[in-house]
């Protein structure tokens, strides 16, 4: 597991920074979307990220979406 992280850092492979330890602020599921709003980061699972995306994108200063990983891992 640790070698995978080091590998990504050295090769510049697709950068995924959310881990299983990052949980959705709404339901506690694993987070795949991170939005920065007013200097604080909000984390959402794919379901709630999509649900709140329209509202959040209007106010978020950054939008980080890793939901593509869900397809990769399927
Ligand atoms: Zn959720």
What is the pTM for the complete model shown? 0.75
Q: How remote is the CA of residue 13 from the centroid of ligand 1, in Å?
A: 27
Residue with tokens 């590998």: 7
Per-residue pLDDT of 6-50, as tens digits, reads 444 455 555 689 999 999 999 999 999 999 999 999 999 999 999
Q: How remote is the CA of residue 30 from the centroid of ligand 1, in Å?
A: 8
How far, in Å, CA of 39 to CA of 18, rounded? 18
Beta carbons within 10 angstroms of residue 69's beta carbon: 15
**Torsions phi, psi for 57 (to 5 deg):** -60, -25
Q: How remote is the CA of residue 59 from the centroid of ligand 1, in Å?
A: 19
Per-residue pLDDT of 47-69, as tens digits, reads 999 999 999 999 999 999 999 98
């Amino acid at each position: 597991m640790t070698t995978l992280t080091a590998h990504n850092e050295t090769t510049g492979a697709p950068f995924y920074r959310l881990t299983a330890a990052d949980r959705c602020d709404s339901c506690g599921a694993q987070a795949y979307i991170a939005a920065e709003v007013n200097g604080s980061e909000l984390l959402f699972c794919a379901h709630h990220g999509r649900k709140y995306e329209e509202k959040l994108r209007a106010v978020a200063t950054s939008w980080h979406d890793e939901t593509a990983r869900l397809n990769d891992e399927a």
